[in-house]
Amino acid sequence: MKLYEGKAKILETTDNKDVLIQLFKDDLTAFNAEKKDNREGKGALNNQTSSILFEYLQKEGIKTHFIKVIDNTKMMVQKVSIFKIEVVLRNVAAGSIVKRIGIQNGTTINPAILEFYYKDDALGDPLINQDHIRFLNLAKSEELEEISVIALKVNDLLKSFFIKRDLILVDLKLEFGRNTRGEILLADEISADTCRLWDAKTRESLDKDIFREDKGDVLTGYREVLKRLKTKR
């Protein structure tokens, strides 16, 4: 039974109340869904990319919601109660931060910048800080601390994973939730929809910026990312 349909995915219930199926749709949206498209095969690419990255992170000791791949567009996940916070990590300046703090696109950011956004489409996912999170009751301070520590570790692990495949992890967005056992898990997806990935040599975008900025065929970028993840495991 369908539990939820969002912009990019559908969550379905299973016989086990603690387990969901996450189905990746072919819909593409940007700028808070002002720009839309549908590209056949996008969902399958994101499902495969996410599965490889979740498997890698689990192997490295990160607790994630990922259980197993079901088919091309579906994965089995642990059900969590999602924190209404988007955690963004930045290793290179691109996107919103360039305008917000007036730095040049492509500037290296080391150590990474960690940001929180309020997961609320009606408000356009505004940037928030720890005090807003406390005031809005989005997470307790210990939970936010744990989420931040995990997020920085995930960023470090993925940054080195990608660079071995000639990909620069420019930035990424993570979501976290709590399962019924009380554990905080990395949830949602990690794909070219939610990460900026540049070719290490040419610095060309291989992610959703191709769609955002009309820079060519978005699926060519997504396919290239997946190919590099698959050829070296």
Q: Interface residues with ligand UDP (CB under 6 A)?
A: 86, 88, 95-97, 125, 171-173, 194-196, 208
Q: What angle do CA 54, 189, 196 make, to 5 degrees?
A: 100
Contact call for residue 168 and ligand ADP (CB under 6 A): no
| Binder of ligand ADP out of 42, 65, 74, 196 (CB under 6 A) | 65
Question: In 3-state terms, what secondary structure has residue 78?
Answer: strand
Contact call for residue 43 and ligand ADP (CB under 6 A): no
Site track for ligand ADP across 45-64, x = CB under 6 A: --------------------
Using the contact rule CB under 6 A, the part of the chain among 2-10, 36-44, 109-117, 155-163 near ligand ADP is: 2-10
**For helices 218-231 and 42-59, what crossing angle results, to 10°?**
30
Residue 71 vs 213, nearer CB to ligand UDP: 213
Residue 70 vs 127, nearer CB to ligand UDP: 127
Question: In 3-state terms, what secondary structure has residue 224?
Answer: helix
β-strands 167-178, 184-187: how paired? antiparallel
SS3 content of the chain, % helix, strand, coil (to 5): 30, 35, 35
Tell me the residue nearest to ligand ADP as measured from the CB: 6
Using the contact rule CB under 6 A, the part of the chain among 5-13, 47-55, 163-171, 205-213 near ligand ADP is: 5-13
Residue 85 vs 210, nearer CB to ligand ADP: 85
Using the contact rule CB under 6 A, the part of the chain among 35-43, 56-64, 74-82, 130-138 near ligand ADP is: 74-82
- Which DSSP letter does residue 106 get? T
Contact call for residue 175 and ligand ADP (CB under 6 A): yes
The neighbour count for residue 209, using CB atoms within 10 Å, is 21
Cα distance between residue 118 and residue 122, in whole Å? 10
Question: In 3-state terms, what secondary structure has residue 49?
Answer: helix
The neighbour count for residue 97, using CB atoms within 10 Å, is 20
Cα distance between residue 94 and residue 204, in whole Å? 12
Q: How far is the CB of 161 from ligand UDP (least distance, A)?
A: 16
β-strands 81-82, 85-92: how paired? unpaired
| Binder of ligand ADP out of 42, 74, 79, 159 (CB under 6 A) | 79
- Interface contacts to ligand ADP, rule CB under 6 A: 4, 6-9, 11, 20, 65, 77-80, 82, 175, 177, 187-188
